[in-house]
Amino acid sequence: MSLRTGLFLTVVFMTLGFLTTSTLWQWYEWIVAIQVLSILVIGTFGEHFVSSQGYYRYTEINGFFIGKVATWIPFMWLVVIQSLFIIGIWLRLDGISASLFAGTMGALMDFGIIEPICSRKIRLWVWEPVARGYFSFVPARLNRFAAPTGNYIVWYIFPTLMGLFLVLSSMLF
């Protein structure tokens, strides 16, 4: 069962990633290749590093892994980041506003959909309490959500930066 789940999620998110990348390629051309590579590399190594610190662990349900990271996770990052940016553009937001929209919606999606369903309900990953965890400056009483508060901050920052990368790079090249 877990191998099928992992394979299914990997194929789904790779396919969706191809579609979002193709859409962005029409607008930003080769710069999108750098963005895709950045998202996949940062997603893979960042997730591996953070999960190696004991903050969370991916469960065996995921089937396939790159180090400690479920294979489909970097592709999910790609799909979420790119699709939210695309939606911002479709809403006729300028590039910077579309980037901020992607970050805001990314954090809200993680808060309202991704963590409650994937972590709490399906248990694709499990969060572990870490005494001096990342973003430990956030008071413990605020960490009552499905994931630590810092996770939602990252879900805001990363999509925003990846959108801004496209916008600013297109101005330079």
DSSP the chain: -HHHHHHHHHHHHHHHHHHHHHHHHHHHTTHHHHHHHHHHHHHHHHHHHHHHTTSEEE-GGG--EETTEETTHHHHHHHHHHHHHHHHHHTT--HHHHHHHHHHHHHHHIIIIIIIIIIIIS-SEEE---TT-TTTTS-GGG--SSS-HHHHHHHHHHHHHHHHHHHHHHHH-
Residue 21's pLDDT band, with cuts at 50, 70 and 90, is very high
**Per-residue pLDDT tens over the stretch 64-118:** 899 999 999 999 999 999 999 999 999 999 999 999 999 999 999 999 999 999 9
Which residue would you say has higher pLDDT here, 120 or 164?
Answer: 164
Q: What is the rounded average pLDDT for all residues in the chain?
A: 90
Of 2-11, 17-26, 82-91, 131-140, which range is least confident? 131-140
- Whether 10 has a pLDDT exceeding 90, the answer reads yes
What is the extent of the structural domain holding 143? 2-172
- Determine what percent of the chain is predicted with pLDDT higher than 90: 70
- Our count of domains for the chain comes to 1
- Determine what percent of the chain is predicted with pLDDT higher than 70: 89
Residue 143's pLDDT band, with cuts at 50, 70 and 90, is low
Compute φ and ψ for 125, nearest 5 degrees.
-145, 160
Mean pLDDT of 29-45: 96
- Whether 146 has a pLDDT exceeding 80, the answer reads no
Instruction: State residue 54's pLDDT score.
Output: 78
Instruction: State residue 1's pLDDT score.
Output: 54
Residues 6+ apart with CB under 8 A from 85: 24, 98, 99, 101, 102, 159, 162, 163, 166
